[in-house]
Structure 1
Amino acid sequence: MRIAFYAPLKPPDHPRPSGDRAMARQMIAALRAAGHEVFLASRLRSREAAGDAAAQGRIVSQARQEAAMLAARLLEDPPDLWFTYHVYYKAPDLIGPMICERLSIPYVVAEASHSARRLIGPHAHFARAALDAIARADGVLCLTARDRAGLARIVAPEKLFDLTPFAPLRAGPRREAGRLPRRLLAVGMMRPGDKLHSYRLLARSLAGVRHLPWRLTVVGDGVAARHVRQAFAPYRGRVDFVGALPAGRLARVYRQHDLLVWPAVNEAYGMALIEASARGLPVVAGNEGGVSEVVRHGVNGLLVPPRDPVAFGRVLARVMTQRALYSRLRQRGWGHAGARHGFAAAAARLNSILGRICAS
């Protein structure tokens, strides 16, 4: 099939790395691996985080112009399907539904979420637009059980499909018998809100392992970078900030470290957690959002009660001092990642889902 791809939150060729951009790229790669021709339909970003009515109005106006232009351009050679990645109240799809209506093609959404409480207040207009797009979809791909539960109230059961988050599986973990983890890694954008909260919790958690030999590498950048650095000031000399990294360099960084650590405040599932597991890197993470669907406790990592830095520090100390536990997590984790989050299986599953949607 010829598939028009759109990501209203952030286009897949955006210069700033993020988990959302990484998953969008994986979706495109999986569709192409399944034999489909995929093209980026639009780069229009609909994200409006502040609930600013005037800003939302400008985005709606831009989206209408974009949709009219696209419909005219695609009318002579329409795609077989429109695929939108990530729709929610801050970044609704304001283009896809109009195009699909005009061209009479199937409309598919992957990773959508719905919260009824957002239909009241400053985000109400965009929340309603996201709801309308999701309800209009011929198929909705759910990446977490939490999203599926929310969508089950507004989408017919036969239109909901499960697709586990995925990443390319790399070579298995190096066998280094008896070695304890000393090279810690944290990967996350540095922006206000949940990401900054996660960084601050991690900094507080490190007090629980201050007596152990370790070094932390922090990958990420953003407007809250200064605040993140301030949070880790007590550990000056033990924390390396390397900024945001392209995918190739980040892959090497994963291989150079022993343990991914992330409190995961309000995390949907955490692309970095999947990427780490796919490289045999154990994870210590906060048990929040959809994290438990990526990190299986005792298999590819350990889960910690949400937003509890004392508990996080205790669990971290346990992994860092128990050789058998760390070795077990490394060996089991890579196999778990391959079975549950492997790219090839996801591509086949995605192809099967699209076939069922188009046949219905």
Structure 2
Amino acid sequence: MIHPALLKKQRFILLLLLLLIPITIIIGLGTGYSALSFDRLIPTFLGQGTFKEEFVLFSIRLPRIVIVLLAGMGLALSGAILQGITRNDLADPGIIGINSGAGVAIAVFFLYFPIKAGSFIYLLPVVAFIGALLTAVLIYIFSYKKVLGVQPIKLVLVGIGFSMALSGAMIVLISSAERSKVDFIAKWLAGNIWGTDWPFILAILPWLAILIPFTLFKANQLNLLGLSEPVAIGVGVSIEKERIMLMFTAVALAAASVSVTGGISFIGLMAPHIAKALVGTRNQLFIPIAILVGGWLLLVADTIGRNIGSTDGLPAGIVVALIGAPYFMYLLFKKN
């Protein structure tokens, strides 16, 4: 039974995040290279803006903001699941190579399987999922021992190794590609939000609409998988079946997210940690908070990145990495 005080605290934090996210969205809508002042937002929403204002709001900023929010939620939930099933606080789809696997699959698909743009958008999450799943399976195999099961630290180290190897494969692909296609892959690698139109929202939304409720339904199994294997087996959990099912879910969430945003790491690491620090480690409590924190963090990173430097700004992936990399090092030293 969850203590009523914790439930009350969770609801308060959820309410706070549900206020922070719209505030950040409004700031994002009113700032950027193309001028759209805050006092013109409501009139433009109501159809009273100029052609330029409506174009900037409905064709550029709003779809991008929705995509960033959804992708941040997906990456945060993916990280929370990976940390639960591996019992490793350092697990993140970007750090352990799952995002890199998705990236290589997208690069190969983009370079060697030319199809119509309309179909390309909706196939991207599927292609990313296949690449990410193959990578996850290999990482799982190399970090698994028959007697001990999955070894948490070894999983992270193997994942980092795969991430570096896949980055090398990406460089080989880039070296043999056309200049225009290289630009796309380079933007993807930097985490430069490239899916900024409404069809990309339709491409990612079904994955989140199915997998977020499924994960919340499996929250208690995640709690049990976080215990030692003998205890989990003792209470009747089919460990391998649940672990594989949840691994599929984490991979699908990460793949769908990065397929439209590019290679973004550390959201899946930071969001669950922040949520756990606020309400504890029980999955029913912290997962809803982690989902909103992940969306908000990526939204903040993208808003900051768009308003720094030149016309193109700074990729959201780089802004997140500037915060996330030191945090990862802190957790690594703390764990040792």
What interval of TM-score do these two structures reach, taking the shorter chain for normalisation?
A: under 0.3
Q: So what's the TM-score if we normalise by structure 1?
A: 0.25
Q: Which has the higher helix share?
A: 2
Structure with more contact order per residue of length (Cα contacts < 8 Å, sep ≥ 6)? 2
Q: So what's the TM-score if we normalise by structure 2?
A: 0.26
